Amino acid sequence: MIWFPFYPGDYMRDTAHLTLVEHGAYRVMLDHYYATGGPLPGKIESLIRICRAFDENEQNAVKLVADVFFPVDGDGMRHNKRADKVIAEQTEKQKDNTAKAKRAASARWAPSNAQAMPQAIFDTEEFRQAWKDWQQHRLEIEKPLKPAMSKAQMAKFSEWGEARAIGAIRHTIAMGWQGLREPETTGLEVSESEIAERAKRAGRTAQCDGCRHCKDGWVTWLTPLENRESVPCTCAAGQWLLSNVYPFTKYSASQIEKLKRRSAQAVSNERSEE
């Protein structure tokens, strides 16, 4: 115990006959009793060591106080009835406070109360998992999502599109931030292996469909846009890239639409040359 009640009136009534040295012995033994949360050793030699009683007068005081206020019980230890009662009450109160705190924390952080799942705007396992990870992240930083906030974020995701929304969630979690932020760097924010995995799930291979305009293959599209002159063509592979890869960049929807127009123009020019 780090605290126990002390009543001066009761103490003076029960210890008025003690000498100054005996008072000191009593308080040291009582403090040790509460500090350890249990009875004192039965042997006088141990009590003398606890009280640091070095001369004969001090040792006699320890013996007298121990026998009067801390008699040996059936377990061979020295007990004080009042101290045992206080310790039992404090222990029970501590357990009750701990249980109340746990119940309060459970109610506060329960998903049903703290961050009810709004209707997902993208009905895919990947988005549902990203949202679940986002909810867990907010719980871990003790900033649970509230219903109004979740609804607002879902509306923002609807504007961004699924790939951009997932990218923002992953980036924010990785940085340990509270508010959603998109990567501030230009270029792709996903690795080649991750894009290849997404392509595999979508039934795409690591190569283009084979048209002349994107004959350089898949890796061409992994370089930042400002570092190359080519643009995605209008074949199925190029358009899949526009829909599923470029949203992971900082380029806006209007910029991606511009890329599509450039792509279509490039193919048109190529066909007219033929």
> Residue ranges of the domains in the chain?
1-109, 112-175, 192-273
pLDDT computed for residue 159 by the predictor = 86
Judged against a pLDDT cut of 70, whether residue 173 lies above it is answered with yes
65 vs 45: CA distance, rounded Å: 14
pLDDT computed for residue 29 by the predictor = 96
Give, in order, the Cα–Cα distances in Å from 144 to each of 128, 164, 167: 17, 22, 20
Beta strand residue intervals within the chain, DSSP E: none
95 vs 171: CA distance, rounded Å: 41
Which residue bears the tokens 């906030």?
149
Helix axes 8-15, 20-36, angle to 10 degrees: 130
Give, in order, the Cα–Cα distances in Å from 199 to each of 57, 173, 180, 248: 89, 24, 26, 14
**Residues contacting 23, CB < 8 A, separation 6+:** 15
What tokens appear for 241 in the block? Answer: 């890239």
Which span out of 56-60, 122-126, 129-133 was modeled with the highest average pLDDT?
Answer: 56-60
pLDDT computed for residue 196 by the predictor = 54
240 vs 206: CA distance, rounded Å: 12
Residue 183's Cβ-side half-sphere holds a number of Cα atoms within 13 Å equal to: 18
> Regarding predicted confidence, which is higher, 10 or 228?
10
Average pLDDT over all residues of the chain: 75
104 vs 238: CA distance, rounded Å: 54
| Phi, psi for residue 197 in degrees, rounded to 5 | -65, -40
pLDDT computed for residue 187 by the predictor = 44
Alpha-carbon 125 to chain mean position: 23
Nearest partner of 177 among 165, 169, 185, judged by Cα: 169
Residue range 135-157, pLDDT digits in tens: 999 999 988 988 888 888 998 89
pLDDT-derived band at 6, boundaries 50, 70, 90? confident
pLDDT computed for residue 111 by the predictor = 52
What tokens appear for 205 in the block? Answer: 């291979």
Give buried/exposed letters for 130-152 (b at 16+ CB in 10 A, else e): bbeebbebbbeeeebbeeeebee
Amino acid, res. 62: V
> Regarding predicted confidence, which is higher, 107 or 19?
19
190 vs 249: CA distance, rounded Å: 9
Judged against a pLDDT cut of 80, whether residue 57 lies above it is answered with yes
Helix, strand, coil percentages, rounded to 5, for the chain: 65, 0, 35
61 vs 19: CA distance, rounded Å: 8
Residue range 186-234, pLDDT digits in tens: 344 445 455 555 555 555 444 444 444 444 433 344 444 444 344 444 4
| Phi, psi for residue 238 in degrees, rounded to 5 | -60, -40
**Residues contacting 25, CB < 8 A, separation 6+:** 51, 53, 58, 61, 62, 65
